[in-house]
Amino acid sequence: MEERYSFKEIEEKFQAKWEHDKPYASSADESKPKYYALAMFPYPSGKLHMGHVRNYSIVDVIARFKRMQGFNVLHPMGWDSFGLPAENAAIKHQIHPAEWTWENIASMREQLKEMGISYDWDREVATCHPDYYKWTQWLFLEFYKHGLVYKKKAAVNWCPSCATVLANEQVVDGVCERCDTQVHKKDLEQWFFKITDYAQILLDDLDKLTGWPDKVKTMQRNWIGRSEGVELDFQIEGQDDKIRVYTTRHDTIYGVSYVVLAPEHPLVSTLTSGTQVESAVKEFVGKMQGLNEISRTSTETEKEGLFTGAYCINPLNGTKVPIWIANYVLMEYGTGAVMGVPAHDERDFTFAKKYDLPIKVVIAPKGQALDSSTMTEAYVDPGVMVNSAPFDGLENEPAMEKIADYIQQHGYGERKINFRLRDWLVSRQRYWGAPIPMLYCEKCGEVPVPEADLPVMLPTDVEFRAGGESPLKTSSTFIETTCPTCGGKASRETDTMDTFVCSSWYFLRFASPKSSDKVFESKDVNYWMPVDQYVGGVEHAILHLLYSRFFTKALRDFGHLKFDEPFANLLTQGMVCMYGSKMSKSKGNVVSPEEIIGKYGADTARLFTLFAAPPERDLEWNEQGVEGSYRFLNRVWRLVYHYAAALQAGQFTIGEVDEAAETLRRVTHITIKRVSEDISARFNFNTAISAIMELVNACYVYKEHSHQNYAVVNEAIRTLVVLLSPFAPHISEELWESLGNNTSIHLEAWPKVDEAALLQAEVTVVVQINGKLRDRITVPTDLDAKALEVRALSEPKVQQQLEGKQVIKVISVPGKLVNIVVK
């Protein structure tokens, strides 16, 4: 063993050994409890960043810890490898997206191996590999078969820069999530997944996810956005048509003073064509369509509207109310038409004030009257119903049910539950994605590609040009085919799937990644799933996690799975920051893992990212802190080196121990306890590491002691190295070897706490007077409350403090403190 800690040599040595011995290979084994640890798989950008290092280090500690505790651990890694950057690279550097992607994967795989993460590399998957996307396509057809995939013309979010459609979820503040270009609306025929069929169950089952952060569950709840209300019809005066509106405030129906349609509402032209307002309406509607969605729907935007000249009838009281068109009504939600109740809705109030529409009070605060002429804002709080014929005098909230019943009984409308969640648009007009396996036949129409013909391979003879349409659109070898039903001419769908489809099931594929005739082996999937611990950034709180839950539930319903939630426990790790903001190229505050690994080694890099902050919090990068972690590993190295020769013999029996040795034993076992609890119960790796540091400090103190009890030292040192091994796997493997072991430390059992070693004969107890610390006394651990009180009161310091004062009460907590209350 060398005297100096040569991290480079050690890390290379064991990485080669692990590559050869495969100590992290896994296979289903019903006789052992399983544990599936998973980090969100990365997009292969080519370079690992600190966020990856942190994410994978966290999961690796968990995986290694569970393995040492005797679990059969599955810890796989793969690549979310379809997507736009590869195509952009193709255009920019004239390199095929596949080539670019596979090179990136190769280089990132190398970097991950340099981190010493305990992956079972035999299970690696890449979503862009035909062996994988064949099954993404198969799943698409499976969903199609079960009526969960459909095609429709839709006003979609179009990114002109990417020349593709984006899901609502990929439009952030009105701009493209990837390239920050303004997104437009465009009408196109698009494929959708019917996730709205699962809205209710996706919402309900959030309650089952006790291992998920509330924050994420709340975000999903808001995204699904369930609301309960009533839909009812307003008869248009002088016409046959009715306007159907949706409301959750049916308690205010008697206060309706107008009805508003969304500009896109089909009744708009029916109502206005051939009338005086026709051209004004057309102009207004045109103006609204020209606006992008954020400025159209922002609360900041001023409400604008136009009277159609038509009227409709409130079914409950027969009142005639004007029909308007306004920018603040959305066609996509509810019925695209709403009733305006200015007295009890903020938006309606603002609108009514602007256009001088009547304000009619129908809810008044208890025991008070509301005057519509003096109101300065809508009254939205609970109250008593007024001017509402049969319901006058009722409290509005409890009356909701009665009113809904009344509406249903009279045939005015019915109860309705709405969700904000929309169906998932998966069509992308791009090349580098899984082709949608559908055909269009002149005779048979829309035809799914037969399973035997999968995968629909991406053609290689394509050209990539900037700003152009998808290269698939111009590839005749790809498009032209024959219809499997009639044998006639057919053309292929040229859209590919949103990459979120590929990432909605990869965690299932890891259970049987090599399965060639099935999407996955049921036996394996049902053994390994659900994922016991999933770790990733909170930016996936909605999209990826919701889609994955949807896929899992649907596949359960199709009979392929025996469970309906994919991730039992979720940890959302914080960002890696420097100078207060997230490390990013644009901010110029990036530190590359390569650089840190080169300078200090992977063990130091891992240790620092785990030590600097608890995992769910943002981590502030600090190079001096990294040096501290490096110093610590050197300190451990020298300590073990100091004792290695003496301890190699191995066998020691702990006999008589003096006070110093007893202390070291106690610290050893306290450390086992703290590290175990910090890892398993709380994922607080920062405090686990500080506990290990304290053990090292205690060993150094003991080292200076004149009499050395090698049995106790042996226990302390071996424990130290084992406890350190999940965090810093290379150095601990080397140190383990230097202690005379010829098997891997990573196959060792996690150490057990000797409760007897924790016991102490004496303990320090705090003495407070009126809650203020006044003295510390050392007393026998088992001293009872009464004896402790007597002892505290007799202390000279305490006596001094009590002079001239009257003791009113004494609180005595054995082993902890005595509080003397005086006057």
Nearer Cβ to RNA, position 271 or 508?
A: 271
User: Packing angle between helix 97-115 and helix 7-21, nearest 10 degrees?
Assistant: 110
Nearer Cβ to RNA, position 62 or 711?
A: 62
| Residue 638 token pair | 């020298």
CB atoms under 10 Å from CB of 157, counted, come to 22
Q: Cα–Cα distance between 575 and 561 in angstroms, integer?
A: 34
Nearer Cβ to RNA, position 562 or 786?
A: 786
Nearer Cβ to RNA, position 3 or 656?
A: 3
Nearer Cβ to RNA, position 124 or 233?
A: 233
Nearer Cβ to RNA, position 22 or 816?
A: 816
- Which of positions 794-813 make contact with RNA (CB under 7 A)? 801, 809, 811, 813
Q: Which one of 95, 614, 657, 666 is in contact with RNA (CB under 7 A)?
A: 614
Q: Cβ 535 to RNA, closest distance in Å? A: 17
26 and 77 Cβ atoms separated by less than 8 Å = no
Q: Cα–Cα distance between 434 and 176 in angstroms, integer?
A: 21
Q: Cβ 330 to RNA, closest distance in Å? A: 4
Using CB under 7 A as the binding rule, whether residue 821 contacts RNA is answered as yes
Q: Cβ 403 to RNA, closest distance in Å? A: 13
264 and 285 Cβ atoms separated by less than 8 Å = yes
The dihedral formed by the CA atoms of 116, 117, 121 and 125, expressed in degrees to the nearest 10: -130
- Tell me the HSE value of 549 on the side-chain side, using a 13 A CA sphere: 31
Question: Stretches 61-69, 272-280, 383-391, 773-781: which one binds RNA (CB under 7 A)?
Answer: 773-781
412 and 232 Cβ atoms separated by less than 8 Å = yes
Q: Cβ 367 to RNA, closest distance in Å? A: 23
Q: Cβ 249 to RNA, closest distance in Å? A: 5
Residue from 768, 132, 808, 209 nearest 510 by CA: 132
Q: Cβ 189 to RNA, closest distance in Å? A: 23
- Which of positions 379-418 make contact with RNA (CB under 7 A)? 418
Nearer Cβ to RNA, position 527 or 637?
A: 637
Q: Cβ 479 to RNA, closest distance in Å? A: 37
Q: Cβ 256 to RNA, closest distance in Å? A: 10
Strand 72-74 to 34-39 pairing: parallel
Stretch 291-310: interaction string toward RNA, x if CB under 7 A: -----xxxx-xxx-------
Q: Cα–Cα distance between 286 and 297 in angstroms, integer?
A: 16
- Which of positions 259-288 make contact with RNA (CB under 7 A)? 262
Nearer Cβ to RNA, position 66 or 774?
A: 774
Q: Cα–Cα distance between 303 and 22 in angstroms, integer?
A: 65
Q: Cα–Cα distance between 283 and 289 in angstroms, integer?
A: 10
- Which of positions 337-376 make contact with RNA (CB under 7 A)? 338-339, 345, 347
- Which of positions 184-213 make contact with RNA (CB under 7 A)? none
Q: Cα–Cα distance between 78 and 497 in angstroms, integer?
A: 19
Q: Cα–Cα distance between 11 and 774 in angstroms, integer?
A: 53
Nearer Cβ to RNA, position 557 or 616?
A: 616
| Residue 762: φ, ψ to 5° | -125, 155
Q: Cβ 305 to RNA, closest distance in Å? A: 10
- Which of positions 615-634 make contact with RNA (CB under 7 A)? 617-620, 622, 624-625, 627-629, 631-632, 634
List C-alpha distances in Å: 118 to 78, 112, 417, 458, 730.
13, 10, 48, 33, 11
| Residue 521 token pair | 């082996």
Nearer Cβ to RNA, position 124 or 177?
A: 177
Question: Stretches 147-155, 182-190, 465-473, 766-774: which one binds RNA (CB under 7 A)?
Answer: 766-774
- Which of positions 560-589 make contact with RNA (CB under 7 A)? none
- Which of positions 9-38 make contact with RNA (CB under 7 A)? none
Using CB under 7 A as the binding rule, whether residue 741 contacts RNA is answered as no
Stretch 96-125: interaction string toward RNA, x if CB under 7 A: ------------------------------
Question: Stretches 57-65, 157-165, 218-226, 736-744: which one binds RNA (CB under 7 A)?
Answer: 218-226
Q: Cβ 482 to RNA, closest distance in Å? A: 44
Q: Cα–Cα distance between 683 and 63 in angstroms, integer?
A: 12
Q: Cβ 136 to RNA, closest distance in Å? A: 26
The secondary structure element, H or E, covering residue 428 is strand 427-428
Q: Cβ 799 to RNA, closest distance in Å? A: 13
Q: Which one of 764, 781, 794, 799 is in contact with RNA (CB under 7 A)?
A: 764
Nearer Cβ to RNA, position 458 or 578?
A: 578
Q: Cβ 577 to RNA, closest distance in Å? A: 9
Please work out, in degrees rounded to the nearest 5, the angle formed at the alpha carbon of residue 734 by the alpha carbons of 733 and 740: 95
Q: Cβ 606 to RNA, closest distance in Å? A: 15
- Which of positions 698-737 make contact with RNA (CB under 7 A)? 700
- Which of positions 221-250 make contact with RNA (CB under 7 A)? 222-223, 225, 227, 229, 246-249
- Which of positions 666-705 make contact with RNA (CB under 7 A)? 674, 677-678, 681-682, 684, 686-687, 689-691, 693-694, 697, 700
- Which of positions 504-563 make contact with RNA (CB under 7 A)? 538, 542
Nearer Cβ to RNA, position 242 or 420?
A: 420
Please work out, in degrees rounded to the nearest 5, the angle formed at the alpha carbon of residue 511 by the alpha carbons of 524 and 197: 90
Nearer Cβ to RNA, position 456 or 688?
A: 688
| Residue 214 token pair | 């509330």
Site size toward RNA (CB under 7 A) is: 88
Q: Cβ 520 to RNA, closest distance in Å? A: 31
Q: Cβ 697 to RNA, closest distance in Å? A: 6
- Which of positions 311-340 make contact with RNA (CB under 7 A)? 327-330, 332-334, 336, 338-339
- Which of positions 454-493 make contact with RNA (CB under 7 A)? none
Nearer Cβ to RNA, position 146 or 420?
A: 420
List Cβ neighbours of 427 (8 Å cut-off, separation of 6 or more): 165, 188, 190, 191, 436, 495, 497, 498
3-state SS record for 500-530: HHHCCCHHHHCCCCCCCCCCCCHHHHHHHCC
Q: Cβ 114 to RNA, closest distance in Å? A: 24
679 and 751 Cβ atoms separated by less than 8 Å = no
Stretch 121-150: interaction string toward RNA, x if CB under 7 A: ------------------------------
Using CB under 7 A as the binding rule, whether residue 816 contacts RNA is answered as yes
| Residue 524 token pair | 């394996």
- Which of positions 642-661 make contact with RNA (CB under 7 A)? none
488 and 482 Cβ atoms separated by less than 8 Å = yes
3-state SS assignment for residue 294: helix
For residue 129, the 8-state DSSP code is: S
Question: Stretches 309-317, 519-527, 529-537, 814-822: which one binds RNA (CB under 7 A)?
Answer: 814-822
62 and 533 Cβ atoms separated by less than 8 Å = yes
List C-alpha distances in Å: 457 to 128, 138, 434, 461, 462.
10, 13, 8, 12, 13
Nearer Cβ to RNA, position 470 or 629?
A: 629
| Residue 11 token pair | 């890390």
| Residue 169 token pair | 């979820």
> Which segments within 273-426 are labelled E, that is strand?
305-313, 320-326, 337-340, 363-364, 384-385, 413-419, 424-425
